[in-house]
């Protein structure tokens, strides 16, 4: 009986570890982009024409072709590995530099923020 209870707890713990919180652009991703990317990717002339300011980012990302690698979408819903944005944030893009850019070099987002963005893409990049 004790072994069965321990096995159940182990399975339950594993299931909880792999469960994902439902993610949306507006609630989860937009605040990250506004804070971390807004200095360059907002205003009247955003870098590379990519405006990530509040209420504009989603329409400019999901299902849109990358300028640097046109065979990839910026965000391919359900598929982070074929999303150019994901590669830019991971610093694994074959073209261009990793994002976000600092004054002297590129830096990666916090792992927690990267996880939120990855989950959002995996879950279908919902608004």
Q: Mean pLDDT, consecutive 10-residue segments, the chain of 127 residues?
A: 49 52 98 94 90 96 96 98 97 89 76 98 99
Give the pLDDT score at 20. Answer: 84
Distances (CA, A) of 83 to 14, 29, 51, 88, 108: 28, 15, 17, 9, 17
Place of tokens 């955003």: 46
Give the pLDDT score at 18. Answer: 55
Give the pLDDT score at 16. Answer: 44
Q: 47 is in which domain, residue-wise?
A: 23-122
Number of domains in the chain: 1
Residue 3 counted as domain residue: no
Please name which of 46, 54, 47 lies closest in space to residue 30, comparing C-alpha atoms: 54
Residue 91 counted as domain residue: yes
How far apart, in whole angstroms, are the C-alpha atoms of residue 3 and residue 36?
A: 48
Residue 12 counted as domain residue: no
């Amino acid at each position: 009986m004790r072994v069965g209870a321990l096995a159940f707890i182990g399975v339950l713990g594993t299931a909880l570890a792999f469960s994902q919180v439902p993610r949306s652009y507006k609630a989860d991703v937009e605040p990250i982009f506004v804070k971390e990317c807004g200095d360059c990717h907002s205003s009247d002339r955003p870098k590379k024409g990519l405006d990530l300011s509040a209420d504009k980012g989603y329409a400019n990302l999901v299902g849109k072709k990358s300028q640097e690698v046109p065979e990839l979408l910026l965000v391919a819903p359900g598929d982070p590995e074929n999303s150019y944005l994901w590669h830019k944030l991971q610093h694994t893009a074959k073209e261009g530099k990793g994002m976000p850019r600092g004054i002297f070099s590129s830096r990666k987002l916090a792992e927690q923020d990267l996880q939120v963005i990855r989950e959002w893409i995996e879950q279908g990049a919902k608004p």
